[in-house]
């Protein structure tokens, strides 16, 4: 990306010709032992500026948290607050937060006092200024690497509050996202799937329903033949009636079953016997 560059800690950051803009982003590469200073609060003149004119991808867990905070069904949330993106050459659909149609293209949830859904804000809002640096190798090894991403206008780095990476993750509630995100990546980063051009609309719709329209997936599970075909433990069935995250985990297993691994879900014995006959 032309507007992005890395600067190892200890080296000078090049002067930004557009100090007040978001066009150029400075990213500082973190060493494992590195600490950083950052604190965002209403007293800063740049407060809320990062909530404007930005492209924000939403994760499946983001959508669950946000739609539950607003107390609306996932279908309504998707229609009102998001846009679905699918590449022309195929692939899985992605969900982007729809910004307001105002001069600042501001987030629909930002107010003068800050985020109106702060406790359930998206992952990317929580992680800033940490930026995960991941690849197939780092994901395979289960290791996490980060950099510091700094918007030129951000004054939070001038504050004296100091953090380690782990302290920041704990404070921002990022650790709650790790398990769900790992299950999501098992599908989206699968080697065989990333090589294919997924143009089948039924697969794209299945992926969209499971990952983003969780209330519709719940209807599908309980109103179709899903539970008559798949051998799901009664304990799990009781959990998914009330817990969207447990339902999402089951959905990921179903996607894996259909796309990657036939052992991800167990088909009922009577169904297998009927097929044999």
pLDDT digits (tens, 9 = 90+) for 200-234: 888 899 999 999 999 999 999 999 999 999 999 99
Of 154, 178, 202, which residue sits at a domain end? 178
Same domain, 105 and 49: yes
Q: How many angstroms separate the CA atoms of 175 and 160, rounded?
A: 24
Same domain, 25 and 109: yes
Same domain, 100 and 186: no
From 45, 261, 9, select the one nearest 153 (Cα to Cα).
45
- Across the range 132-141, mean pLDDT stands at 64
Same domain, 36 and 140: yes
Number of domains in the chain: 2
User: So what's the pLDDT on residue 199?
Assistant: 74
What is the domain range of residue 207? 181-276
User: So what's the pLDDT on residue 274?
Assistant: 83
Same domain, 167 and 54: yes
Q: How many angstroms separate the CA atoms of 69 and 230, rounded?
A: 31
Same domain, 86 and 192: no
pLDDT at residue 101 tops 90: yes
Banded pLDDT at 272 (limits 50, 70, 90): confident
Residues 6+ positions from 199 with CB-CB distance below 8 Å: 90
- Across the range 32-61, mean pLDDT stands at 92
Entry pTM: 0.85
Residue 1 CB coordination number (10 Å): 5
pLDDT at residue 41 tops 80: yes
Of 146, 178, 210, which residue sits at a domain end? 178
HSE-CB at 174 with a 13 A cutoff on CA atoms is: 19
pLDDT at residue 61 tops 80: yes
Q: How many angstroms separate the CA atoms of 110 and 124, rounded?
A: 15
């Amino acid at each position: 990306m032309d507007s992005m560059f890395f600067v190892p800690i200890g080296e000078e950051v090049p002067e930004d010709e557009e100090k007040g803009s978001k066009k150029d982003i400075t990213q500082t590469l973190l060493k494992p032992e590195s600490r950083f200073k950052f604190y965002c609060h209403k007293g800063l003149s740049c407060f809320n500026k990062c909530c404007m004119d930005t492209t924000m991808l939403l994760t499946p867990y983001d959508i669950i948290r946000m739609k539950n905070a607003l107390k609306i069904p996932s279908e309504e949330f998707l229609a009102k607050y998001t846009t679905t993106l699918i590449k022309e050459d195929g692939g899985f659909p992605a969900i982007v937060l729809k910004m307001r149609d105002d001069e600042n293209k501001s987030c629909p949830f930002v107010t003068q006092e800050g985020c109106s859904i702060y406790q359930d804000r998206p992952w990317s809002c929580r992680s800033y200024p940490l930026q995960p640096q991941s690849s197939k190798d780092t994901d395979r090894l289960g290791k996490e690497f980060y950099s510091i991403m700094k918007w030129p206008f951000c004054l939070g780095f001038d504050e004296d509050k100091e953090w380690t990476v782990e302290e920041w993750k704990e404070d921002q509630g990022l650790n709650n996202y790790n398990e769900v995100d790992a299950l999501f990546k098992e599908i989206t980063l699968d080697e065989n799937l990333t090589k294919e051009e997924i143009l089948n609309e039924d697969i794209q719709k299945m992926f969209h329903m499971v990952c983003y329209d969780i209330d519709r997936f719940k209807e599908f599970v309980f109103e179709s033949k899903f539970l008559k075909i798949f051998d799901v433990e009664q304990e799990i069935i009781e959990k998914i009636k009330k817990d969207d995250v447990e339902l999402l985990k089951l959905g990921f297993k179903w996607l894996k079953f259909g796309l990657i691994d036939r052992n991800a879900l167990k088909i009922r014995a009577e169904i297998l016997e009927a097929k044999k006959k």
